[in-house]
């Protein structure tokens, strides 16, 4: 069985079947959209049913930095030695959202 893959013959066959193809093109498009919609709904249901991760494993990923006690002591010593810095620290403690 020899198959002829000449482009001219293929184009002629497409022209012969163009009415059939155009009649089914809308059905194929609707099926593609429907399958995409079903996939999205399935993904949403999967995410809605997912359990949250263990709280202990995500505590390190929250972005809260850990500061050594040595650094805290040094900052407090510097703050006590400089009155201008002491005022800035007090203002920051009283209103942390002030620029």
Give me the residue spans of the domains in the chain. 7-51, 69-99
Q: What is the pLDDT of residue 44?
A: 94
Q: Are 74 and 68 in contact (CB under 8 A)?
A: no
Task: Spell out the per-residue pLDDT of the chain, length 99, in tens.
Answer: 566 677 788 888 888 888 888 888 889 999 999 999 999 999 999 999 888 776 655 555 667 778 889 998 988 888 777 777 777 778 888 887 766
pTM of the model: 0.40
Q: What is the pLDDT of residue 34?
A: 97
User: According to the model, what pLDDT value does residue 39 have?
Assistant: 97
Which tokens belong to 45?
Answer: 């249901």
Rounded to whole angstroms, the Cα distance separating 36 from 33 reads: 5
pLDDT attached to residue 99: 62
pLDDT at 33: 97
pLDDT value at residue 21: 81
């Amino acid at each position: 069985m020899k198959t002829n893959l000449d482009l001219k013959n293929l184009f002629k066959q497409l022209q012969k079947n163009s009415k059939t193809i155009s009649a089914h093109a809308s059905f194929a498009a609707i099926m593609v959209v429907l399958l995409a919609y079903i996939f999205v709904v399935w993904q949403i249901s999967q995410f809605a049913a997912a359990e949250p991760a263990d709280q202990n494993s995500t505590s390190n990923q929250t972005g809260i930095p850990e500061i050594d006690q040595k650094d805290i002591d040094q900052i407090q010593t510097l703050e006590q030695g400089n009155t201008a810095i002491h005022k800035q620290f007090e203002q920051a403690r009283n209103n942390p959202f002030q620029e």
